[in-house]
Structure 1
Amino acid sequence: MALKFLGIISNTPVDESPTIWLDDTTGDLIIQSYKADEATVLQAQEVGSIPGHSTAIPPHETMIRLPAEMLQYIPRPDGDDSATPST
């Protein structure tokens, strides 16, 4: 696995830094961000996903809240990475 740094939210304190990386082997995004609060989790569970699919969060998963500013760092399927800063 080789990670590529994509971006970090601007103006965050040293101990609070939502960050995003790309695993260039698998294409997976690795995201460090704020844990969704209980109200957000409950809202997501009320909305649901697909019929018959559980809305419970298993122990090996978590729900995060990705700040809108971080969306600029998510790679586009068309390969246009113009919003991705060079490292």
Structure 2
Amino acid sequence: MALQFIGIDPNTGTNGSPTAWVDLANADIVLQSYIADDETRAQCVENSAPGHAKGVPAHETVIRIPARLVPTLREACDAAERAKL
């Protein structure tokens, strides 16, 4: 696996912050971000996707991406598309 660093939260300090990478082997976007609080997790469970069971499977989690990271996510999406070529 080779991860391409895309960007980091522009308002970060030097320790732990939302970050985006692209896995060049399969074009997956890999994110580090804040753990969603209990209220947000509960809302995700209550508003599950139609046709899907409620709950968050043990192999998944809910994260919160700050809006200021949107430009970085766009860049990650572009890099993922390029990696597929």
Measure how far apart 1:59 and its partner are.
1.9
Question: Which structure 1 residue ranges, 4+ long, deviate > 3 Å from structure 2?
Answer: none
In structure 2, distance between residues paired with 1:68 and 1:27: 23
Distance 1:12 1:55 in 2: 34
Per-residue CA shift, 1:25-50, capped at 9, x if unaligned? 11101100000111001111222202
Number of corresponding residues:
78
> 1:49, 1:69 → 2: CA distance?
26
What is the TM-score with the length of structure 1 in the denominator?
Answer: 0.77
The CA distance in 2 between the partners of 1:11 and 1:73, in whole Å, is 12
> Could you list the runs of 5+ residues in structure 2 that have no partner in the other structure?
none
The aligned residue for residue 85 of structure 1 is none
Alignment RMSD (CA, Å): 1.9
Q: Which ranges in structure 1 are unaligned for 5 or more consecutive residues?
A: 81-87
Give the TM-score of the pair, scaled to structure 2.
0.78
Could you say which structure has the higher helix fraction? Answer: 2
Judging changes above 3 Å, is the alpha-carbon distance between structure 1 residues 76 and 55 closer, same or farther for their aligned structure 2 residues?
A: farther
Which structure would you say has the larger RCO, counting Cα contacts within 8 Å and 6 or more residues apart? 2
